[in-house]
A = this chain, B = another copy of it.
Amino acid sequence: MKIAIDTMGGDFAPDEIIKGAIQSANEYTQTGFILVGQEGKIKEVISNYPTIPENIIIKHASDIVETHEHPVKALRNKPDSSILRCVDLVKEKEVDCFISAGSTGATVASSILKLGLLEGVKRAGILTLIPTENGFCGLIDAGANIGSKPIHLLQYAIMGSIYMRLVHQGSENRFVGLLNVGKEHIKGTLTIRLAYHLLRRFINNFGGNVEGHEIFSGRYALAVCDGFIGNILLKMGEGLSNFLTKEIQRADKNMGKFLSKFDYSEYGGALLLGVNGIAIICHGRSTAKAIKNAIKIAIDLAEKKINERISEEIKEKIKEE
């Protein structure tokens, strides 16, 4: 098992990224870690550690994609960026997976363009995790694409269900919901109503429409939606959490610390599902702890061969259709 880590992306790069990678390397001694990025900077950070695990190597990449850059332009202008080099390593099968806390847009675009989609998959989707009263609820698509057709929403449901079952125990006993403005199947746009029928037919534990507030009930393992709404929802949830945390810290510092357990940046990242490789998109504010979580999930997914399972299930259900 090998994993590539983009050490240049994220608000606390490279220090926190490398810290998380070194801690993980000490834990997963059978896994090879490739730190990708500007060699000089990486070596400088590493020199502060008394010992470096033997299962870590450095791969130089001279460019850094900044978060404010236009993803596709940045990829074109910076062919030797750390993100692209990570994707290349996956494409060339030198590693099994990669993680990046850099530009989400660049990670998504480079993964889709270079790795391509899995057989039968029509669109990639970002799956992100939302804390609920009973474990996490996956939200897919959190912004990889906009303007989903019903078949895309069905494929998100299939891919997201597989992910949740593999990584979050008990998900098989909870429901898959279609994000909508009401419970009745006649609610929503035409696309949503058509998707409802597809999901009812092909998703075993389809629980019908899920309304915004029900995401937190713990009844749903997965909420399916178009990337336009998923992106806005995710950012809104994050903004609201941060806002409430700030307000509470103003009143009581200890309570603010308690709320950090709802900090979206700690969950170990979102997964780009549907591409021919394993790509974990970490939060821009990722600390070493978040990076460690992301590495754990990436290795877990690679070991459990998530993409083979997705391909199989998509092919099987398309044949049925």
Q: Does A234 contact B (CB under 8 A)?
A: yes
In-complex Cβ contact of A237 among B70, B240, B247 (8 A):
B240
**Do residues B231 and A233 form an inter-chain contact, with CB atoms below 8 A?**
no
**CB closest residue in chain B, given A186:** B70
Contacts of A247 in B (CB 8 A): 262
Q: Which residues of A171-205 have CB atoms within 8 Å of chain B's CB atoms?
A: 179-181, 184, 188-189, 192
**Do residues B211 and A232 form an inter-chain contact, with CB atoms below 8 A?**
yes
Q: Does A15 contact B (CB under 8 A)?
A: no
- With contacts A252-B255, A259-B248 taken as known, whether A216 is within 8 angstroms of B232 at the C-beta atoms is no
When each residue 219-247 of chain A gets 1 if its CB lies under 8 Å from chain B and 0 otherwise, what string results?
00000010111011111111111111011
In-complex Cβ contact of A238 among B132, B213, B217, B262 (8 A):
B213
**CB closest residue in chain B, given A183:** B68
In-complex Cβ contact of A143 among B181, B227, B252, B258 (8 A):
B181
Docked CA distance A225–B234 (Å):
16
Chain A interface, number of residues (Cβ within 8 angstroms): 48
Q: For residue A104, give the distance in angstroms from its CB to the closest CB of chain B.
A: 10
Contacts of A211 in B (CB 8 A): 232, 235
Docked CA distance A184–B71 (Å):
12
Docked CA distance A251–B256 (Å):
12
Docked CA distance A155–B179 (Å):
26
Contacts of A225 in B (CB 8 A): 232
Contacts of A240 in B (CB 8 A): 216, 237, 240-241
**Do residues A251 and B255 form an inter-chain contact, with CB atoms below 8 A?**
yes
When each residue 263-286 of chain A gets 1 if its CB lies under 8 Å from chain B and 0 otherwise, what string results?
000000000000000000000000
CB<8 Å pairs between A and B, sample of 8: A143-B181, A181-B227, A212-B235, A214-B239, A217-B239, A228-B229, A247-B262, A248-B258
